Structure 1
Amino acid sequence: MPAYIIVEADIQDPVAYDEYKKNTPATVEKYGGKFVLRGNPVEALEGEWNHDRLVMLEFPDKKSAKDWYYSKEYQKAKEIRAQGSKAKFLLIEF
């Protein structure tokens, strides 16, 4: 059953965030994941959108998604992300 990680990000340091974006794709692929969408701008059709960036990742299952998020490889990228942004990561099983 596929699982999705949805990320809402607010970017304070675009240079650090760009470095994070370079380091993340290989870690996602290693755990069978792929980017479904990543970018901005987001247009709110209802309610408010107050974030800089929206990202959605798809994994084969919830275990793969969690294995990626807690992996040693991703922790390095996560440290870089934390230097340049604040984010919420939401895990949803479909």
Structure 2
Amino acid sequence: MTAYMIAKVKATGDEAELAAYRAQVEATLEPYGGRYLVRGGPVEVLEGDPEPGRIVVVEFPDAESARAWNDSPEYRRIAPLRIHNAESDRLIVTGV
């Protein structure tokens, strides 16, 4: 069943390192069947945090593929660029 990795990201550090992360991350998704559905863009807040930051939604064939991507050596290599320069909430949600 299709699964989605949903992230809310607020930049807190080096923008150049975050740009390097963004430039590399898409290539890490492809081997796991991941594809962006949402990658930033304008956000209209209807309720809750008035400054949600950047919203990202990645579709995967299933939750196992999403976890495999998250734990992959390719992604783990670049993850520190995000971790050290942003506050993130990330989760995997299985579709219906």
Gaps of 5+ in 2: none
Gaps of 5+ in 1: none
What's the Cα RMSD here? 1.2
> In structure 1, what is the equivalent of residue 9 of structure 2?
9
> In structure 1, what is the equivalent of residue 65 of structure 2?
64
State the 4+ residue runs in structure 1 displaced beyond 3 angstroms. Answer: none
- Structure 1 window deviating more from structure 2 (8-17 vs 47-56): it is 47-56
- Within a 5 Å distance, the mapping from 1:13-28 to structure 2 comes to 13-28=14-29
Letter matched to residue 7 of structure 2:
V
TM-score if structure 1 supplies the norm length?
A: 0.92
- The alignment-based identity, stated in percent, is 36
Q: CA deviation at 1:48?
A: 2.8
- C-alpha change, 1:47 and 1:86, in structure 2 (3 Å) is closer
Q: CA deviation at 1:52?
A: 1.8
The answer as to 2:86 corresponding to 1:85 is yes
- Size of the alignment, in residue pairs? 94
TM-score if structure 2 supplies the norm length?
A: 0.90
